[in-house]
Structure 1
Amino acid sequence: MKTIPWPTIGVVISWYSSNIGVLLLNKYLLSSYGFKYPVFLTMCHMMMCSLLSFIAISIMQVVPLQNIQSRRQFAKICFLSIVFCFSVVCGNISLNYIPVSFNQAIGATTPFFTAVFAYFMSSKREAWVTYYTLLPVVGGVIIATGGERSFHLFGFLICVSSTAARAFKSVLQSILLSSEGEKLNSMNLLLYMAPIAMLVLLPATLLMEKNVIGTTMDLAKNDIRIVWYLLFSSSLAYFVNLTNFLVTKHTSALTLQVLGNAKGAVAVVVSILVFKNPISVIGMMGYALTVTGVILYSETKKRYS
């Protein structure tokens, strides 16, 4: 039996911790703490991702710097940044209205949206049996929705939008940056996307969440913890991307997908324990069916592709 190296175990634990940590902290900030500014929160995340990406690549040289080769490539990255912004903002907004457990159940349908977008946007086609495995993915969420005691229609729709946008970005990225000269690893892509996303989010914040900076400063005078919460949440948002890259580097894209399915289940359990949100047996059965569908989809895709 092959022994798993300790660095790999450490990277996976870090990936789980940062993923689940940022989810729980964002939920706490936007719901329990009452910091009702998801767009500003996302902008803080992008600011920190910009800073830490620069430090990691340009100063610490964690990965080699990949330069942008043309204006056309830059335009493609800008477009990806807008889609990325939309996905993250919608995900954070949804945490205002629905529990983390339900958020994760909806998020597990990413393979369904990815398959749909890939089918219509590119010539890539999967075997029909692969598409059939998506039925339990969608069916599980439908069942979970019916059994969700904290269901909120707007929260549900905005979370579905976030999941669809995440899948759309993935497919779009594979199409737009497909040539060898334009391909960027995830760390370099984040280095360029984060500042663009920050510039997009700044006017959106000022328009949608007026006087948020003044309100946050006033809040910090009474409770300095809000500053540390925002800094910690923003740092975790970067480490989600860093550890995601490191897990792929130490294992494989397929292992990352399998670990991601398990991570979602762990996040559901942890969120229920932390926030004690009510969850029905039907809801758990629906989520279990979705995860089973995702696993079947991964296996059939590996076998028939």
Structure 2
Amino acid sequence: MADISQVLAALLAMGQWVFLSVTLILFNTWLMHYGGFPLPLTLCALHMATSFIIAFVFQLVGLVETNLTAAQIVRLVVPTGVLFAAAICTGNEAFLYLTVAFIQMVKAWTPTVVLILSVIAGLERLSLRLVAIVLITSGGVALAIYGELKFALFGFVMVLVSIVLDALRLVLVELLYSSSEVRLSGLSGVLYMSPVCFLAVLPVAFVFEGDRVRNIVDSGVVKPHLVLLNCCCAFMLNVSSLVLVKHTSALTLKVVGVFKDWVVIIVSSVVFNSAVQPMQWIGYSVAFIGILMYTHYKYEQYVRSVGAESALDPAELERLRSNSHDGVADAECDKSDADETNVVAHCSLAVLDRFEPARSMLTDRASLQN
């Protein structure tokens, strides 16, 4: 009976994460196109401010740990937070020019960028297998781009910049945190990251969108309660990621994210009546094969790291098990290796974790069976 309840809890966690992720992507797009709020930078700043306020309230009641020093915040949180904010803003900007389905297809190229940067940084060794993953994924994305009828160069450039920035963030996280015992997990990651992102975005939003914000507020076109609801959805998505990993594993979050992308493409094409050409379906299917190859590659690394259990003493193993269930791995480590995200697409505040599923991702045998 206990096993059935665990399975049901895991399925419910997966369902709510997919639902919230897809909902927020569509909500963001609707709000910027039809809800009278075409302000991607301001929207990002509001997301961060709301996430910080809610996380701070949780910290006041003792639900969030705060154990970083000022030096650790400057060295670890600030650089990755600035990159994350820049990736989100450029990604959101693209939604003003391109369809959701097309953006999602182009984001399938993220693992390729992460792998290339990881090889350059010395985090991965170049091999024929990695070259095959890069070529297959890139070829599929190229076909998807070629088949797009509503192509906008500026929007496409924004997507590419967003992908590169988020990939740089992931590689930087691995470089900085590989030699540090610091872990930001769950709500503590939101508490530390959101104000950094907010402060990074705010001056840029003021310069480029300040006048438009005042005009929109004065006109009364936008509904404040819808913007607030959108911000709360962004925070809820982060919590749902935490719940999903708690009931399954960080690897499950990655695999479910692959499925979620198909849902986003199909649902968005129906909701916003954006046609997806046969060439694009073929291209994304090819890229999807590359993503599956990449996921299997990371899974093999994960299995090897779990095999190190026997070499750990019981106290250390228990600590790692606790960390693996308390920390949410980057949802976008497989595609944006972001949302979480597709962290960039839906403005979810990804939690800082290591790019490689090394010892910080160790979990018990039961989690692997989930």
Q: TM-score, normalised by structure 2?
A: 0.75
> Is 1:259 the counterpart of 2:261 in the alignment?
no
Distance 1:58 1:10 in 2: 29
1:121-168 Cα shifts (integer Å, max 9, x gaps)? 234326431331222211111000000111111111101111222222
- Alignment partner, residue 341 of structure 2: none
Alignment of 1:140-219 (within 5 A): 140-219=140-219
Alignment of 1:1-305 (within 5 A): 3=4, 5-59=7-61, 61=63, 64-125=64-125, 127-220=127-220, 223=221, 226-303=223-300
Residue 89 of structure 1 deviates from its aligned partner by: 0.3
Larger mean CA deviation between 102-111 and 178-187 belongs to: 178-187
Structure 2: which amino acid aligns with 1:140? G
Structure 1: which amino acid aligns with 2:92? N
Distance 2:167 2:245 in 1: 18
Larger mean CA deviation between 116-125 and 150-159 belongs to: 116-125
1:174-233 Cα shifts (integer Å, max 9, x gaps)? 22123453222143222111112111222111111132442232233xx4x621221122
Structure 2: which amino acid aligns with 1:114? V
Contact map agreement 2:112 2:133 (CA 8 A) in 1: no
Q: Secondary structure at the match of 1:198?
A: helix
Taking structure 1 as reference, are residues 103 and 200 closer, same or farther at Cα in structure 2, changes over 3 Å only?
same
> What is the number of residues matched between the two proteins?
299
Residue 72 of structure 1 deviates from its aligned partner by: 4.1
Residue 68 of structure 1 deviates from its aligned partner by: 0.9
Larger mean CA deviation between 192-201 and 86-95 belongs to: 192-201
Residue 101 of structure 1 deviates from its aligned partner by: 0.3
Larger mean CA deviation between 42-51 and 228-237 belongs to: 228-237
Residue 238 of structure 1 deviates from its aligned partner by: 1.6
Q: Secondary structure at the match of 2:210?
A: coil
Distance 1:12 1:246 in 2: 9
Q: Secondary structure at the match of 2:223?
A: helix
Higher relative contact order (CA 8 A, sep 6+): 1
Q: Which runs of 5+ in 2 are unaligned?
A: 305-370
Segments of 4+ in structure 1 off by > 3 A? none
1:78-112 Cα shifts (integer Å, max 9, x gaps)? 11111011011011100000000011111222211
Residue 34 of structure 1 deviates from its aligned partner by: 4.4
Distance 1:142 1:298 in 2: 20
CA RMSD, 1 decimal: 2.0
Distance 1:261 1:284 in 2: 15
Contact map agreement 2:107 2:159 (CA 8 A) in 1: yes
Contact map agreement 1:106 1:163 (CA 8 A) in 2: no
Contact map agreement 1:84 1:165 (CA 8 A) in 2: yes
Taking structure 1 as reference, are residues 53 and 277 closer, same or farther at Cα in structure 2, changes over 3 Å only?
same
Distance 1:31 1:161 in 2: 22
Distance 2:243 2:276 in 1: 34
Distance 2:61 2:279 in 1: 51
Q: Which runs of 5+ in 1 are unaligned?
A: none
Q: TM-score, normalised by structure 1?
A: 0.90
